[in-house]
Amino acid sequence: MTDIISVIAPINMAVIKYWGKRDEKLIIPLNDSVSGTLDPKVMCAKTSVCARSAFEEDELWLNGIKESITSERLQNCLKKIRELAIEQKSVDEEFLKFKVHICSENNFPTAAGLASSAAGYACLVTALATLYKVKTDISALARIGSGSACRSVYGGFVRWYAGSNPDGSDSIAKPVVDSSHWPDMRVLVLVIADTKKHTSSTKGMKTTVETSELMKHRIQVSVPSRIEKICEAIVKKDFPTFAELTMKDSNEFHAVCLSAFPPCIYLTNTSLKIIEMVHYYNNICGTIKVAYTFDAGPNACLYLLEEEVPKMLSVIKYFFPFSSEDFIKGLKAPPIKEFPI
């Protein structure tokens, strides 16, 4: 039997965005959020962990490169899991002294607004919790690593509750519906830049919370009014309502980012062109058939039903003739991937 634990976890794409923390250290959000979890077979992180007496230090490899393990969030996850192992006496004392080696890789661009940290931390804490045999709510552990990671521990559509307890004990994720609920739901990810984003989510959130007037409206009015409606639309498989709320939330999130000072600008001209394209398509359809949403980066995520995929791909090819040299040179021609949730 091997002593290496390997886990894969998918990315999730928020339809009601988490943006802003009420507790920076414990990573407790200001608002509830909802996301769809993508098929782990297509876009995922894979993490392997191993603890041995022969290891001299805790060590970390990310996408094949040895990285510093001193990141506060990673240390918080390790510390919490080791504390739980002591509390639950889940492994013997000797094992607890062993150093751990962690190796993680993504099959998609890291830190380009494609929720790579969500998949990464969901994987990491699941692997470590298995290694140390601890029993706990995995979503709460994942949250300590990267907030949105708590939603990646479930399939289907997932809601992360902000909670009200000061220690974050009720800030956990729960499934809205499982992955079998809406079988014809699809996601197209349009990768228009695979470089690292210049303002991290952490920094962007802090600036927004501290300086944006619009943020108050988002937290007090907009998100609370959308969250129940979108969960209901998901349960009822009401695509037009789901899609409208998704696009409105993405637009408001980016407007709020732009209203921070200095502004956090994540969308590019290509992102804006994608927004126009989707509205153009919905308009000629006479009803909402496709929804866009953008995380903290320029890449688009389109939610649509399976029957729309071929039509949407033709529209995308019409709007973005990838063979154009300018496009390829200026923006790196995007691979378009199609994923069932």
Binding flags for ligand PMV, 99-118, as an x/- string (CB under 6 A):
----------------x-xx
Among 296, 300, 301, 316, binds ligand PMV (CB under 6 A): 296
Residue 32 as a binder of ligand PMV (CB under 6 A): the answer is no
* Subset of 115-144 contacting ligand PMV (CB under 6 A): 115, 117-118
Cβ(264)–Cβ(199) under 8 Å?
yes
- Measuring CA to CA, which residue among 72, 93, 71 is closest to residue 82? 93
321 upstream amide cis, omega within 30 of 0:
no
CB 31 to ligand PMV: min, Å? 9
Q: Rounded to an integer, what distance in angstroms lies between the CA atom of residue 39 and that of residue 169?
A: 28
> How is the chain split among helix, strand and coil, in percent rounded to 5?
45, 20, 35
Among 20, 26, 33, 271, binds ligand PMV (CB under 6 A): 33
> CA dihedral defined by 115, 272, 33, 225, rounded to 10 degrees?
180
Would you mind telling me the total number of residues written for the chain in this entry? 341
Stretch that binds ligand PMV, among 38-46, 145-153, 178-186, 220-228 (CB under 6 A): 145-153
Q: Rounded to an integer, what distance in angstroms lies between the CA atom of residue 219 and that of residue 215?
A: 6
Among 11, 14, 162, 231, binds ligand PMV (CB under 6 A): 14
Nearer to ligand PMV, 118 or 153 (CB): 118
Q: Rounded to an integer, what distance in angstroms lies between the CA atom of residue 63 and that of residue 187?
A: 25
Residue 147 as a binder of ligand PMV (CB under 6 A): the answer is yes
CB 293 to ligand PMV: min, Å? 9
161: which 2 tokens? 């509750």
CB 64 to ligand PMV: min, Å? 22
* Subset of 233-292 contacting ligand PMV (CB under 6 A): none
Among 9, 17, 134, 209, binds ligand PMV (CB under 6 A): 17
Residue 45 φ then ψ, to 5°:
-110, 145
The residues of the shown chain that bind ligand PMV, judged by CB under 6 A, are: 14, 17-19, 33, 115, 117-118, 146-148, 201-202, 295-296
